[in-house]
């Protein structure tokens, strides 16, 4: 069984919106609904665990899950103070039959089934995989004084996206290790890396943007308009 944990507990303060960014309308429906729909349609996903803020569970149930008649969402889980805690709460809710766990940001509504499938295949073959895309611009690594330390080769630098996919035992051990060592990672792949396990990067999508600021919402709408014209 392949289970997707979709994180929708963040407050999205940089959006400067009155409500959680997950529920802002993108075209004709909430951002979160766009995200869930792709996982709902993907035949390789059997179960979805949705992690939301404790105060928004009933709102999410009525205005997203029931309204759009999603059937793969098996549990609605309370989010934590940090993203890492939210993921762990989701991991504690997965079924024993789960073999591959995908972790995805609810604020990435333009995810495609093809990227989801590549992540699953990557995790099945290598244990851990992350969607990502090569950078298009030159990156400079700076020191504390803001002088350039060195310039990495562009072909060696990728932008990490979600979903990230893992064999269940690997991601569970990684989170338990992080808790015991008081490690706080910026993504789940980083926690796995701390255990000495390599992450296989699979091809993501430049359109798989994370909506963080009002400008991102405009960009996402433009991408959807473009896709519908193709």
Ordered alpha helix ranges (H), 139-198: 168-181, 188-193
Rounded to whole angstroms, the Cα distance separating 223 from 62 reads 28
Closest CA to 162 of 102, 78, 223, 121: 102
Q: Residue 196 has which token pair?
A: 């000495």
At residue 18, the pLDDT reads 56
At residue 163, the pLDDT reads 98
Rounded to whole angstroms, the Cα distance separating 207 from 194 reads 29
CB atoms inside a 10 Å sphere around CB 111: 27
At residue 13, the pLDDT reads 60
Rounded to whole angstroms, the Cα distance separating 65 from 84 reads 24
The mean pLDDT of the chain is 94
Rounded percentage of the chain residues whose pLDDT exceeds 70: 95
pLDDT band at 189 (very low <50, low <70, confident <90, very high): very high
User: Could you give the C-alpha distances from 126 to 119, 192, 200, in angstroms and in order?
Assistant: 10, 12, 7
At residue 226, the pLDDT reads 84
Give all domains of the chain, ordered by start, each with its CATH number: 2-229 (3.90.550.10)
pLDDT band at 184 (very low <50, low <70, confident <90, very high): very high
Across 94-118, average pLDDT: 97
How many residues does the structure list for the chain?
230
Across 62-71, average pLDDT: 96
At residue 227, the pLDDT reads 77
Longest dimension (CA), the chain: 54
Please provide residue 65's backbone torsions phi and psi, each rounded to the nearest 5 degrees.
Answer: -65, -55
Rounded to whole angstroms, the Cα distance separating 104 from 59 reads 21
At residue 29, the pLDDT reads 94
At residue 17, the pLDDT reads 57
Rounded percentage of the chain residues whose pLDDT exceeds 90: 91
The pTM for the full model equals 0.94
């Amino acid at each position: 069984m392949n289970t997707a944990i979709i994180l929708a507990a963040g407050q999205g303060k940089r959006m400067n919106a009155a409500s959680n960014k997950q529920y802002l309308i993108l075209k004709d429906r909430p951002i979160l609904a766009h995200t869930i729909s792709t996982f709902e349609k993907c035949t390789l996903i059997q179960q979805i665990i949705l992690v939301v803020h404790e105060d928004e569970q009933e709102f999410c149930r009525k205005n997203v899950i029931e309204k759009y008649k999603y059937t793969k969402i098996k549990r609605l889980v309370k989010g934590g103070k940090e993203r890492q805690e939210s993921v762990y709460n989701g991991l504690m809710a997965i079924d024993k039959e789960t073999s591959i766990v995908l972790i995805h940001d609810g604020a990435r509504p333009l995810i495609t089934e093809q990227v989801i499938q590549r992540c699953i295949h990557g995790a099945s073959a290598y244990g851990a995989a992350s969607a990502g895309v090569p950078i298009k611009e030159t990156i400079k690594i700076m020191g504390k004084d803001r002088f350039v330390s060195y310039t990495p080769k562009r072909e060696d630098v990728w932008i990490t996206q979600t979903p990230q996919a893992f064999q269940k035992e690997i991601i569970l051990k990684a989170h338990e290790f992080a808790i015991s060592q008081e490690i706080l990672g910026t993504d789940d792949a980083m926690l796995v890396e701390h255990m000495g396990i390599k992450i296989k990067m699979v091809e993501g999508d430049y359109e798989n943007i994370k909506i963080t600021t009002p400008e991102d919402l405009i960009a996402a709408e433009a991408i959807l308009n473009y896709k519908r014209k193709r």
